[in-house]
Amino acid sequence: VILEAMQSILAHLRYLNREVRRVHTDRGREFLNRLSTRWFREQMIHRTASAAEDHKANGRAEATIGVIQRKARVLILEAKRQGWEQADRYWPHAVETVVAHMRLKALGLDSKQGLGWGSFVAVRNKTQGRRDDFQARTWLARYIGPDVNGSTGSISSKTHHV
């Protein structure tokens, strides 16, 4: 699973015309096994690892995780304050939204969020798949973040037809 995630991250960075020359990890088996070592070598990526049990070396990563969690909690609390009681059920989407914006900012790309997380949006239904012309074409939904698997889309949580 970790190798697949690293491959996905590398593919995304290459899509953004970014080059990865080195990856620094902890000494977890998922990074030091034969398969990962071979993959890093095939990709011509130099892998370094922190010393075993050196918690200070992981301080930056742990601090970043804390920042992500705090920002995701803020998104959820703000959505709940505006009346969305089920917002905490979308924790993974709040985290993905925070990470996507942090990644764009770190890469020097536009990271401005157009919509507030959890705000209402109207989503238009494609004409195909509708039973008849009188069926509603749009529904009310909540914005729950960017589509991290797409290029420019967003994800919404359907609530009801408008």
Contacts of residue 35, defined as CB under 8 A and 6 or more positions apart, other chains included, come to 3
Q: From the first residue on, what is the mean pLDDT of each consecutive set of 10 residues in the chain (162 residues)?
A: 90 89 88 92 93 72 91 96 92 92 84 76 70 72 80 66 48
Residue 42: per-residue pLDDT? 96
Rounded CA gap, 97 and 104, in Å?
Answer: 11
